[in-house]
Amino acid sequence: MTDKDTSDHAVLAHELEHLRATLHRLDPHVRDDLPDAVHQMRITCRRLRSALRTFRKSLDRGATDPVRDDLKWLGGALGRARDLEVLRARIDRLLLAQSPELLRGHPGPWIDRRIDAARRTAHADVLEAMASPRYVALLVTLDGWQKRPPWAGRPDRPARKRMGRALDRAWSDMERAATAAAANDAVDRIARLHAARKAAKRTRYAAEMLEPVLGQTAGARAAAAEEIQDILGDHRDTVAAIVHLRELSDIAHAEGRQTFTFGVLCARLEADAADREAAFEQAWGRISA
């Protein structure tokens, strides 16, 4: 994998096999709801989808596009459970950071019970997805690629050339998305930031995959894309927490509970979101320069 003459088929086959094996390894851990298992399987689905998209010119899209759809479906089920894990951890940290006089009505245990119930439902949905014929068929297809990878009908080429061009395209996509998100006149800013995060994630995964072949250039791109992805990922989680807290506040109000603390927490999160936007603009200005 470190030879500069390594072919694109060899690099892709290695990555697909690694991710296929990771899915199988994580399967029982997700079923048992072990810590971080849902998160790791979700990342594995994302990396697989990203590889199939970024390097699609080397692959038979008639075979890979349905798998991309299945991975998106599975990742969606995993994502609901994972997002609730992140939400509870974030709200718990916020509550611990508040002065006692701001925690009116002792909302912490009530919030935890609500999120825990939603998380149990989300994990049950994950188990239902993993018991479905669609999930089984996905694993069977990925297993079949061990012996018959879904190559496109084109000659094998050195990875540094063909896959290097694919990384260039991914980086250009990230540049366009990040530049649009950083524009001051962006009326749909949340959507643009989300698009930039996804583009950065794809670029990071591609660059990490190619670092053994392309060396320092790919490593530098991976680090830059990861920085953008981390900042915007935290921004996305913060915005999602604001939306969820507002929903919880409405429920609490309907039950006759005090909602003052919900407003305090939302204000803190809105400030955090603004900080993340500023951090993104600063990071992207430095990277793009």
> Which of these ranges, 3-17, 164-178, 249-263, has the smallest mean pLDDT?
3-17
Q: What percent of the chain has pLDDT over 90?
A: 91
Q: Report if residue 282 sits inside a domain.
A: yes
pLDDT at 159 over 90: no
Q: Report if residue 87 sits inside a domain.
A: yes
Q: Report if residue 168 sits inside a domain.
A: yes
pLDDT at 1 over 60: no
Q: Please give the mean pLDDT across all residues of the chain.
A: 95
Q: Number of structural domains, the chain? A: 1
Quote the CA–CA distance of 25 and 252 in Å, as a whole number: 41
pLDDT at 178 over 90: yes
Q: What is the pLDDT of residue 284?
A: 97
Quick: pLDDT tens for 3-17.
667 899 999 999 999
Quick: pLDDT tens for 17-40.
999 999 999 999 999 999 999 999
* CATH code where residue 220 lies: 1.40.20.10
pLDDT at 223 over 60: yes
pLDDT at 272 over 60: yes
What pTM value is reported for the model?
A: 0.93
Q: What is the pLDDT of residue 4?
A: 65
Q: Report if residue 3 sits inside a domain.
A: no
Q: What percent of the chain has pLDDT over 70?
A: 97
Q: Report if residue 2 sits inside a domain.
A: no
Q: Report if residue 86 sits inside a domain.
A: yes
Q: What is the pLDDT of residue 274?
A: 95
Q: Report if residue 1 sits inside a domain.
A: no
Which residue segment(s) compose the domain that 130 sits in?
8-288
Q: What is the mean pLDDT of residues 215-232?
A: 97
Q: Report if residue 137 sits inside a domain.
A: yes
Q: What is the pLDDT of residue 158?
A: 87
> Which of these ranges, 36-45, 67-76, 145-154, 167-176, has the smallest mean pLDDT?
145-154
